[in-house]
Structure 1
């Protein structure tokens, strides 16, 4: 069973396909300047419909993580890290992803990370590696 991919729609397409241009695109409200995730047609802070996907640096910090040893899918090698990443652009701008490219024992809270992308079909999954 391969990774389950998201259903693309007008609201989330820029997020899931920004990796094709090596861009992590997060929705931002032009009325109040708040970044927010997941993508939505209106701002969760001020309810404005003036939102658009905006390329961010892709840099962040591991806020929390777990090491998974359960082989849920044969395509994903265990153990692997599932982490909450906070992006540098805004305090509280967080989402869940995997930390890849380093031993799971090297992952820790506070680890600086940067985005990388895994392309599967028409989706570019944002993953995170240790920042250079």
Structure 2
């Protein structure tokens, strides 16, 4: 699950675009997390951007710049997007694992301190 910012970065889109898609119901698996905000499943992003990638390009009028003019570093390859999303998914899993480890250490410390005679720094 990615935050709106992570999803926007991974897809080469703005956070506003991701927010609009979420509000329009185009990302059905989103959940609201009290700490991280809206979380978006990678699968929703892949499905959503696969659909929009097959849409025909807009026709530029005689006085309009061609589509994509002035844009830089826009990922145009679905495989590149998938690789970036997979990398973000892996980073997220590592962060969750680290958080669980820290929480377990903190809980062990609390249990130790609650034991009779349990003081910080005391050796048994």
Common topology (TM > 0.5):
no
Q: Which has the larger radius of gyration?
A: 2
Structure having the higher helix fraction is 2
What TM-score comes out, normalization by structure 1 length? 0.25
Structure having the higher strand fraction is 1
